[in-house]
Amino acid sequence: MRVYSERRRRWRHHEDANLQSLLCVGSTPGSLDDVMLGIMSSTLEVTRTKTSYVDDLSGAAVLSTVKAPTAADPFKATAVKWMELDVRRRSSGFVKNRDYVYVEATGVKHLPSGERVGFHVMHSVYIPQAHDLSGRVRAKLSVCSFFRQRRDDSMSVYVKAIMDPMSSKTRRVGAPCFIKILLATV
């Protein structure tokens, strides 16, 4: 798996200067079903279990389930979620943790060729009931991932992500944590 990060230019001073753009491409062992099962976390219990295995993620919750997976379509789900990125540990406490409120959608689509392609989308949303939490900064993200079966034992992975850490100082510390979380499920 390769991760490419947009380089920051010193002369860029407009409003999107803090945005961190990432591109991940590569392959991972397994099947499409394996990858989709690794991504899925439609309940609070599953979300908490997964959080306990990812180092830079200090908390996560399912705020609302919009569409739950079914037996007929086990990978199709939409939910509003919250997660906290632990950047304090990397910055020796000088930077506040970042948290995100976002809509997450997953599913598998059949192409006209018959090939199955999995997707995972995460996009920040503003919900008044999900107020800012003390000691954290509400950051923003937008992630779009596609997964394609290359061979019986290998998957192609394509991820485009943009994150706004809400501070230029946090960019260097937050990006590696964010990348780790993105790749933890694949």
Length of the chain in terms of residues written: 186
Q: Which domains does the chain have, with CATH numbers?
A: 2-6+17-183 (3.30.530.20)
Decide if 68 contacts 77 (C-beta within 8 A): yes
Decide if 70 contacts 56 (C-beta within 8 A): no
Residue 89: helix, strand or coil by DSSP?
A: helix
* Tens-digit pLDDT string for the chain (186 aa): 888 877 666 555 555 556 788 889 999 899 999 889 888 877 767 766 666 656 556 788 889 999 999 999 999 999 999 988 877 655 566 778 889 999 999 999 999 999 999 999 999 999 999 888 888 889 999 999 999 998 888 999 999 999 887 776 666 666 666 776 666 666
Say if pTM beats, i.e. exceeds, 0.95.
Answer: no
Burial call 47-78: b when 16+ CB within 10 Å, e when fewer = beebbeebebbbbbebbeeeeebeeeebbbbb
Decide if 138 contacts 163 (C-beta within 8 A): no
